[in-house]
Chain A
Amino acid sequence: MSKILKFFDRHLAYVMIIPAIILILLFSILPILESTRYAFFDFQLNDQKKSGIYMTSNYNMPLSDETFEYIDYYLEIEAATVQKADTIQYINRMRDDIKGYQLNLKSILGSQTGVVETSRENIQVIQAINKDIKFAIDLLYSMDDVFYSEEDMQAVASELETCIIESNFIGLDNFKQILSDPRVIYTLSITLIFTFISVFCELLLGLALALIMNKAMKGRGLIRTFSLIPWAIPTSVAALMWSYLYNGSSGIVATAFSNIGLIGQPTELLLTAKAALGSIIMADVWKTTPYMALLILAGLQVIPNALYESSSLDGANKIMQFRHITLPLLKPSILVALLFRTLDAFRVFDLIWVLTGGGPGGTTESISVYAYKVMFAQTRFGYGSAMVLIMAIAVGMISYAYIKILDVKLIGE
């Protein structure tokens, strides 16, 4: 007992953070590990051969039962419509044979139900059975008689192959495929262009806005409040609002742009690749500049006034003060703001989803939008997970680059 207490005493700090570690493990590390695991499998829901994580050979029992039932069902239909006695006899014999095959199959696999794990040897035996059945069916339809369900029968019989589930572990194939998927390359470059231009504009405008907000003047509180409004509007609502403004037949921004000659027709704004991307960037800059300004403003306020006073005594003008006092001391705040915004912008989803849906012709699709489509609309979980992992790596690289370039020590030695 005293030993335990002693241990607690010595490592109190660690003991205190145990709940936090458990939470992080449960809600952060585990899901990441799970989705990392998916990335190594050809895991997709719309194919029963791949709708699970399989390391070994398996056999889909319910589908097999259903398929045998259907083969019998179609044989019965054919038996009712064929003309010759020979054919009927053949069909009757075939129905018995196929029942025999099914029993044989069950004796191999035992009485288990569901998706049954089995050995490679058993799978080979089953494949031989499938081949025999296929041969019997082909023979039936080569007979000189009138058949009505050949296409259906062949389609149903092809499901016997679907019952055999092989391991869908594919190692790094998903990643290889992603790196050669032109759509990934394209969406990634669109995302990068979007991120860099919008974050750059936001930084400049945000810095200017922060300097204004930091000035002691009348109505400062009001300016601060009003300038935050765009940021307070939910992104999807803001995107919807901009989509009305950009609308080719009634949007005021689209009309204004075409009147001053930025674009030829109001409709071109959302229907040409470059203009549409520009529109998205503009909406994003409008929306998130206040956020940037807020973060920089916080940095501005911790710069002691004494520095400015003493430098002005030394004869420094405003520009010199900005370059040699404001900017260097703002560096950590700017880094944090840039980091936040870059990571945010890199994951851009809702703005594009609502404003253009990725159009025209997929030219404004960001990698998040594509990943969402792959994961949820197309249920290709393996491929989608791999894509998301690559996104995470890209985000990590960007963060690292920022810290290196701006050379700021976030954590003191």
Chain B
Amino acid sequence: MKKLLAMVLVLVMVLAVGCQSTPKVAPVTTEPTQPAAPVEKVTVKFAVQADSTDALNQLVKAYNDSSDKYQVEAVVMTNDSGNMHDQLINSLSSKSGEYDVISMDVVWAGEFAAAGYLEPIDTLIKDNGWLPTDFNAGSMASGKYKGKNYVLPYFSDLGFLFFRKDILSAEDAKKLEEGGYTWAELLKMAEGYMGQKGTKYGHVYQSKQYEGLTCNLNEFTANWSDIKGGLETMAKFVKSKATPEDILAYTEGETHNAFLNGEAVFARNWPYMNGMAASGEYNVKAEQVGFAPLPTGSTVGGWILGVNANSTKMDGAKDFLSFIAGPKGQKINATVGSYMPGFNALLADSDVLAANALLTNTGFQNALKATIARPVVANYSEVSDVIQIKAHEFLSGNGKLEDAVKAIEEKLK
């Protein structure tokens, strides 16, 4: 028995050694010789947030098909804009040329430009035969720092008023769409219509302590021209029975849930909520929704494009930027992704209008005419942070109005 075992062991060992010593013949790979490309294309990297539509893919594909010098690679970053900001800062502050073209939230441009991370693009605008006024004014204003333009719009976004067409009287709806109303009138309407057709709330908007509160306060204070009055109005909204008890914890998510589930008559939100209504998956359908400008202007959101000042492929980066922000790229973005084009001439383009029903609506058009930007300053996140904290402190009854006004005014100086 033992002998047998020993023999088996020896056999196993011999086999094992034998296997190991077998010369390994590298498999001969017969790669099909591809027809060599005439010139090696230079790769341009585009740092961009994830796109839930197919627009980004099509944009990149259209560019790569049309360009014989450059090849664009989209580096899709996190969807959390705060994290994306920190990641970009990490890369840009080390003077790295990792990304050539950068997509940014509108509020970052001041900071990035002041830090010297972005390449000014006035010559690019001139060389293409454009004028800064050819682009969305709010987006351009967000990217103009110390007399230089640093960005072109990727897509613009703006906050405006949604209302239930099936609840409001035609007269009130018309008044709202024209925009000649005040915050007090809106609150009165919200209180009056609340409860009809199963609604629980009059008006919903964003006032949790986060960036959305800065956007909303920008509107309530008429672009910071009346901080005290704006805060007082906002406090009236919070106290009113027409807003939910926990309106101070509302973000976009709570807002669209309340409105699309048929719980609210009015809502202040971004255009994406219309897309949700149009999908037909919610209680409130597209035909029940009307749009109107806000009493004192609409905060501009959305994303803008800039070129990394330390890019090693400056020409390619500028070439791609001209494509994506110009009429061709913007048209793809607007028709495929239903984004709001940042190139103004496209607002009259029939294909764009067909893909984006919102653009033909009077109320929305009026909102588009009155856009306001958030402060363009180098230390934006610090400023916005103080605004959020002080406003929320006052609105939640933990702080005094005078302190909030003083602190915010000081920061905006």
Interface string of A225-249 (1 = CB under 8 A from B): 0000000000000000000000111
A267 contacts B245, CB within 8 Å? yes
Closest CB in chain A relative to B193 CB, distance in Å: 21
The stretch of A87-95, A120-128, A169-177, A358-366 that contacts the partner chain: A358-366
B residues less than 8 Å from A357 (CB atoms): 208-210
Task: Report whether B147 and A156 are in contact in the complex, using a CB–CB cutoff of 8 Å.
Answer: yes
A140 within 8 A of B: no
Contact status A273-B122, CB under 8 Å:
no
Question: Given A155-B146, A377-B381, A46–B114 Cβ distance below 8 Å?
Answer: yes
Known contacts A66-B120, A379-B89; is A47 also within 8 Å of B115 by CB?
Answer: yes
Expressed in whole angstroms, the Cα–Cα distance for A348 and B351 within the complex equals: 53
Number of interface residues of B (CB under 8 A): 39
A271 to B86, CA, bound (A): 28
What is the distance, in angstroms, from B118's C-beta to the closest C-beta of chain A? Answer: 11
The 0/1 profile, CB within 8 Å of A marked 1, for residues 361-383 of chain B is 00000000000000000110110
Q: Do B122 and A70 have beta carbons less than 8 Å apart?
A: yes
Bound-complex Cα distance A151 to B395 (A): 37
* Cα separation A152 to B141 with both chains bound (whole Å): 12
A362 to B389, CA, bound (A): 5
Report the separation of the CA atoms of residues A47 and B122 in the bound assembly, to the nearest whole angstrom. 21
Who on chain B is nearest to A273 by CB? B398
Which residues of the partner chain B approach A265 to less than 8 Å between Cβ atoms? 245
- Interface extent on A, as a size class? 35 or more
Instruction: Determine the chain B residues whose CB is within 8 A of the CB of A267 once the complex forms.
Output: 245-246, 248-249
Residue of B nearest to A152 (CB): B147
Q: Is the CB of B398 within 8 A of A360?
A: yes
Chain A nearest CB from B137 CB (Å) reads: 15
A208 within 8 A of B: no
| Interface residue B148 (Cβ < 8 Å from any Cβ of A) | yes
Complex CA gap A158/B123 in Å reads 20
The interface residues of chain B lying within 8 Å CB-to-CB of A63 are 116
**Is residue B390 within 8 Å, beta carbon to beta carbon, of the partner chain?**
yes
Residue A317 lies at the interface, judged by CB distance under 8 Å to chain B = no
Which chain B residues lie closer than 8 Å to A270 at the CB level? 249
A272 interface contact, C-beta 8 A? yes
Q: Is the CB of B379 within 8 A of A378?
A: yes
Total A-B contacts with CB atoms under 8 angstroms apart: 114
Q: B393 near A360 (CB under 8 angstroms)?
A: yes
Alpha-carbon separation in the docked complex, A360 to B392 (Å): 6
Would you call B73 an interface residue if the criterion is a C-beta within 8 Å of the partner chain's C-beta atoms? no
Cβ distance B129 to chain A, nearest Cβ, rounded Å: 15
User: When A249-B245, A377-B82 are in contact, do A361 and B147 touch as well, CB less than 8 Å?
Assistant: no
Within 8 A of B (CB), among A379-413: 379-380
Given contacts A272-B398, A379-B89, are A74 and B147 in contact (CB under 8 A)? yes
Which residues does chain B contribute within 8 Å of A62, judged by CB atoms? 116
How far apart sit A153 and B396, CA to CA, in the bound complex (Å)? 44
Given A45-B93, A270-B249, A271-B249, also A361-B396 (CB < 8 A): yes
A363 / chain B contacts, CB cutoff of 8 Å: 393, 398
Query: Are the CB atoms of A46 and B120 closer together than 8 Å?
Result: no
Q: A153-B147, A359-B209 are in contact. Are A46 and B393 (CB under 8 A)?
A: no
**Is A148 part of the contact surface with B, judged by Cβ < 8 Å?**
no
Cα–Cα, bound, A363→B93 (Å)? 32
| Minimum distance in angstroms from A411 CB to a CB of chain B | 40
Q: Mark B108-120, 1 if CB is under 8 A from A, else 0.
A: 0001001110001
Nearest residue in A to B391 (C-beta to C-beta)? A361
Task: Flag if A378 contacts B249 (CB, 8 Å).
Answer: no
Q: Mark B139-150, 1 if CB is under 8 A from A, else 0.
A: 000000011100
A196 CB contacts on chain B under 8 angstroms: none
Docked CA distance A360–B394 (Å) = 10
B244 lies within 8 A of chain A by Cβ: yes
User: What residues make up the interface of B, taking CB atoms closer than 8 Å to A?
Assistant: 82, 85-86, 89, 93, 111, 114-116, 120, 122-123, 146-148, 208-210, 244-246, 248-249, 378-379, 381-382, 385, 389-399
Residues of chain A whose beta carbon lies under 8 Å from any beta carbon of chain B: 45-48, 51, 62-63, 66, 70, 73-74, 151-156, 158-159, 247-249, 265-267, 270-273, 357-363, 373, 376-380
